[in-house]
Amino acid sequence: MAANYAVERKIAELAVRRASILTNKTFHSLVKGTVSKEDKSPVTIGDFGAQSAVIGAVLHAFPGDAVVGEEDADVLRQDENTRTLVWDLVKGAVEESAALNGEIGTIQTAEEMMDLIDRGNSEGGPKGRIWALDPIDGTKGFLRGGQYAVCLALMVDGEVVVGAMGCPNLPVDPANPDGERGVLFSTAKGAGAIQKPLNSSLDVEGTPIAMNKVTDLSQASFCESVEAGHSSHGQQAAIAKALGITKDSVRMDSQAKYGSIARGDGDIYLRLPTSKSYQEKIWDHAAGKLLVEEAGGVVTDSVGKTLDFSIGRTLRDNKGVVAAEKDVHQQVLDAVMAELSKASL
């Protein structure tokens, strides 16, 4: 029988939830009011804190696993002020989440916190159990008070089998954008995808999510990056035109885009390369890709190749992302390839 990874999925949910408590606190205590300054530290603090909160939980449950995490603790080891700030936040979030989350491993000292952050140093690869972690995905969104996500996935022998994503600023009900915020998405291969409020009690199963069935592509809508440097808005507009799409794109930062289309809030996510040299990172796509697939979608790169998570910390053999409901993915991909063939990238 195929493994169902139910325990890993549960731990991933709890880990991401603990880190989301921390990033939320970081925003409210440090970021607000500093956004206009050229000060990167608030987001850096959130990144470090969230990485230790997640890795601590993952390795408490699965001590033999490896982790590919975006950050390392070099700065914290050198800079005592930043270290103290991060440690205060981590201590607080670990205590606060213990009541909500049950026992997912404490973090006792600042040293232990830094060691946990540095356990994210796996080189990835095709063998064994490797977690991919983006402690704050969408740093620009985080600083704006917009969308960002804590993203965690488990890969086994190079294949993504579990994904969890905390989106603290995403409305629970897309039809009620001013209502409760904070969504936890999770998925496991073959088991579908769910969402639940981030602050749900432990026994809440969550609501299954599914992509919209698109019968007429001209009625579809795109979810795209806010940042023009991350995905070409001009080419996206040309592709929309070729497909007869007239609805405005929904723009948001981070992998919340994958979560949004997975729950039918938007239909298509394109990431169109803006430079030849940028290599997408595995932690920027692993959880989101499985969420979309388990909600009825297909995810490829911009020439139709599957995303290859087995070759290290990056997706260096892939260019861009095309995510859409499975029955229309090919049609969207054809329009993408036609448009990109016009460019000299």
Instruction: Please give the positions annotated as active site.
Output: 47, 139
What does 163-174 look like in DSSP terms, one character per residue? EEEEEEEEESST
Indicate which single residue of 284, 294, 301, 339 sits in contact with Mg ion (rule: CB under 5 A): 284
Number of residues that bind Mg ion (CB under 5 A): 5
For residue 74, count other CB atoms closer than 10 A to its CB: 11
Reported as type and span, the H/E element at residue 23 is: helix 6-26
Q: Please tell me the distance from the alpha carbon of residue 151 to that of residue 257, in angstroms, as a whole number.
A: 12
Residue 341's nearest CA partner among 295, 303, 312 is 303
Indicate which single residue of 8, 13, 134, 301 sits in contact with Mg ion (rule: CB under 5 A): 134
What is the phi-psi region of residue 196: left when phi exceeds 0, alpha when psi lies from -120 to 50, beta otherwise?
Answer: beta
Q: According to the binding rule CB under 6 A, does residue 13 interact with ligand A2P?
A: no
Please tell me whether 284 is known to bind a ligand. yes
Residue 186's nearest CA partner among 157, 203, 208, 212 is 208
Stretch that binds Mg ion, among 77-85, 191-199, 278-286, 332-340 (CB under 5 A): 278-286
Q: How far is the CB of 71 from Mg ion (least distance, A)?
A: 8
Q: According to the binding rule CB under 6 A, does residue 71 interact with ligand A2P?
A: no
Residues 200-239 close enough to bind ligand A2P by CB under 6 A = 225, 227, 229-230
Q: How far is the CB of 281 from ligand A2P (least distance, A)?
A: 7
For residue 318, count other CB atoms closer than 10 A to its CB: 21
Q: How far is the CB of 271 from ligand A2P (least distance, A)?
A: 7
The residue sitting closest to ligand A2P, measured at its beta carbon, is 225
For residues 70 and 267, which CB has a smaller minimum distance to Mg ion in the complex?
Answer: 70
Q: Please tell me the distance from the alpha carbon of residue 61 to that of residue 86, in angstroms, as a whole number.
A: 23
For residue 82, count other CB atoms closer than 10 A to its CB: 16
Q: According to the binding rule CB under 5 A, does residue 301 interact with Mg ion?
A: no
Please tell me whether 265 is known to bind a ligand. no
Number of residues that bind ligand A2P (CB under 6 A): 14
Looking at the chain, how many residues does it have?
A: 345
Q: How far is the CB of 298 from ligand A2P (least distance, A)?
A: 19
Q: According to the binding rule CB under 5 A, does residue 137 interact with Mg ion?
A: yes
Residues 244-273 close enough to bind ligand A2P by CB under 6 A = 253-254
Stretch that binds Mg ion, among 133-141, 157-165, 201-209, 290-298 (CB under 5 A): 133-141
Question: No. of H helices and E strands in the chain?
Answer: 10, 12
Q: Please tell me the distance from the alpha carbon of residue 63 to that of residue 18, in angstroms, as a whole number.
A: 18
| Side-chain half-sphere exposure of 283, counting CA atoms within 13 A | 25
Q: How far is the CB of 238 from ligand A2P (least distance, A)?
A: 19
For residues 43 and 161, which CB has a smaller minimum distance to Mg ion in the complex?
Answer: 43
Residues 112-141 close enough to bind ligand A2P by CB under 6 A = 137-139, 141
Q: Please tell me the distance from the alpha carbon of residue 316 to that of residue 280, in angstroms, as a whole number.
A: 7
| Side-chain half-sphere exposure of 10, counting CA atoms within 13 A | 15
Please tell me whether 115 is known to bind a ligand. no
Stretch that binds Mg ion, among 21-29, 176-184, 281-289, 304-312 (CB under 5 A): 281-289
What does 73-114 look like in DSSP terms, one character per residue? SHHHHH-HHHHHHHHHHHHHHHHHHHHHH--S----SHHHHH
Point out the annotated binding site for Mg(2+): 70, 134, 136-137, 284
Residues that bind Mg ion (CB under 5 A): 70, 134, 136-137, 284
Residues that bind ligand A2P (CB under 6 A): 137-139, 141, 225, 227, 229-230, 253-254, 274-275, 278, 284
Point out the annotated binding site: 70, 134, 136-137, 284
